[in-house]
Structure 1
Amino acid sequence: MGKNTNIVWHEQSLTKEERRKQNGHNSFVIWFTGLSGSGKSTLANAVASKLYHEDVRNYVLDGDNIRHGLNKDLGFSEEDRTENIRRIGEVAKLFVDSGQVVLTAFISPFKADRNLVRDLLQDKEFIEVFVKCPIDTCEERDPKGLYAKARQGIIKDFTGINSPYEEPENPELVIETNSQSIEESVEIVFQYLKQQGLI
C-alpha cells in the first residue's frame, strides 16, 4: 500500500504561540527514557502532579497504555520499536502544538529513535531525561515480572537482557532512581524547567 500523495497541510486558525499564551506557559516534551523498572512512569506521573498543582496543563503518554490502543498492532522487534517511538513522537508534537506539556515514559532504547523525535521539535521543546538505574536494581524491582519471563526465555527481545539499551549521550537531565528519592527526582526536573524559563 503506497503513500497518499494527495494530501496538503492545512494551517490552523490558532498558532502554537496563541495557545501557549492562553495556557500561561510554554509547551514541550519531557521524554523519560530508561530500562524497564527504572521508575520512568512513576517519575513522569509525579512530575505531572506537580505541574498540575502549578496550573501547568499536561498529559502523560505511557508505553504500556499506548500499546493498548494507538500502537496495539506493534510488537517488540527493532522495526516495531522504531515505529512505536515514531508514532509517539508525532503525537507528542501535536500536544506541543496544542500548547501543553507532554510527559512520555518509554524505554525507547535506541538513540536514533530518540533523536528522530528531538528533530521533530524546536529548540527547548524536547527535554530528554535519562532515568538511570542499574539493571540489577531494575530486575530486583521487576514490578511486572518481565525480567523473570525474559530470563526464562518467555519474552524475546527484552531490553537489557537480550536486546540492547543505548544510553543517552547528552541528556538534559540524568535522574538516578536507585539513589535519589521520588521527591528529590521531581524537584530536580521542576527546578530545571524553572531555570530554563519553561514554566
Structure 2
Amino acid sequence: MILIQFTGLSGSGKTTLAENVRGLLIENGYKVEIVDGDVYRKTISKDLGFSKDDRCENVRRLFNLGRDFIETNTIVLMSVINPYENLRKELRNHEFVRTVFLDCSLSNLIERDSKGLYKKALLPDYDINKINNFTGISDVFETPLNADLVLKTDFETVPVSANKLYNFIIENLSGLA
C-alpha cells in the first residue's frame, strides 16, 4: 500500500483534495483512510502546541497511525501542513511513502482565507486575536525539495488536481506491488 504525505500551507486544499481522491479510490474498490491533521489535533495530539518540536511530534503521531492503516492494506492520505523538509525526508525513508506538495501562492491563500486564519495571523502583535507561530506568516514553511508530485492548487480546479493525484496513486501502487 501507499501513504501520501501531503504538504502545503493552510488553505492550499489538502483536506479538500484528500476527500475528493478518497471518493475516487473508494469508487474503484480501494480501501482508503484520511489522516487529517486538523481532526487529530483534537484527539491524539491535543496535548501538543505549535513549537517546532510539537509540530514534528504531531506529524510522527499521524504517521504512526497511518502506518497502522497501511498494515491493513489501506491507502493513507495524510493531510497535514508538515512544514519541515527534514521531517518529510524522515518519513520518505519508508518505501511506501510519497510526498505531494500542494503549491499555492501566499497571496492567493490570504485572498481566499476561508477559515479567517491568515487575517488573524496578520494582525498587529498587540492584538489579542493574533495567531502567533502561523506557518507561512510568522513561522517557517520549507518548500519541498523532492516532492514526488506537485499540484498547483491556485491554478488547477479540484477535479483536475484530484485526477492527477488519483492517477499518481494508481501508478505508484503498481510500482510497490
Tell me which structure has the larger Cα radius of gyration. Answer: 1
Cα deviation digits, residues 125-175 of structure 1 (max 9, x gap): 111100000001111111111111111141111001011100111111000
- Number of aligned residue pairs: give it: 170
- Where do 1:68-83 residues align within 5 Å? 68-83=42-57
Distance 1:194 1:147 in 2: 35
Match of 2:86 among 106, 112, 124: 112
**Once the 2 structures are TM-superposed, how far is the Cα of residue 65 of structure 1 from its aligned partner?**
0.3
Distance 2:170 2:41 in 1: 32
Any stretches of 5+ residues in structure 2 without a counterpart?
none
Distance 1:49 1:107 in 2: 22
Match of 1:141 among 105, 112, 117: 112
- Where do 1:144-163 residues align within 5 Å? 144-152=115-123, 153=125, 154-163=130-139
Structure 2 residue 108 is matched with structure 1 residue 132: no
After the TM superposition, which parts of structure 1 deviate over 4 Å for at least 4 consecutive aligned residues? none
**Once the 2 structures are TM-superposed, how far is the Cα of residue 43 of structure 1 from its aligned partner?**
0.5
**Once the 2 structures are TM-superposed, how far is the Cα of residue 116 of structure 1 from its aligned partner?**
1.9
Root mean square deviation of aligned Cα: 1.3
Question: What is the aligned partner in structure 1 of residue 61 from structure 2?
Answer: 87
Distance 1:118 1:192 in 2: 16
**Once the 2 structures are TM-superposed, how far is the Cα of residue 94 of structure 1 from its aligned partner?**
1.1
Match of 2:142 among 157, 160, 166: 166
Cα deviation digits, residues 96-134 of structure 1 (max 9, x gap): 111101101111100111122222x2x2x1111000000
- 2:11 match: secondary structure: coil
Distance 1:174 1:149 in 2: 28
Structure 2 residue 66 is matched with structure 1 residue 66: no
State whether residues 37 and 62 of structure 2, in contact with CA within 8 Å, keep that contact through their aligned partners in structure 1: no
Question: What is the aligned partner in structure 2 of residue 192 from structure 1?
Answer: 168
Match of 1:180 among 134, 137, 156: 156
What percentage of residue pairs aligned between the two structures are identical?
Answer: 36
**Once the 2 structures are TM-superposed, how far is the Cα of residue 28 of structure 1 from its aligned partner?**
1.2
Residue identity in the other structure for 1:88 = L
Residue identity in the other structure for 2:112 = R
Residue identity in the other structure for 2:104 = C
Distance 1:178 1:57 in 2: 29
State whether residues 63 and 78 of structure 2, in contact with CA within 8 Å, keep that contact through their aligned partners in structure 1: no
Distance 1:80 1:142 in 2: 25
| TM superposition score normalised by structure 1 | 0.82
| TM superposition score normalised by structure 2 | 0.92
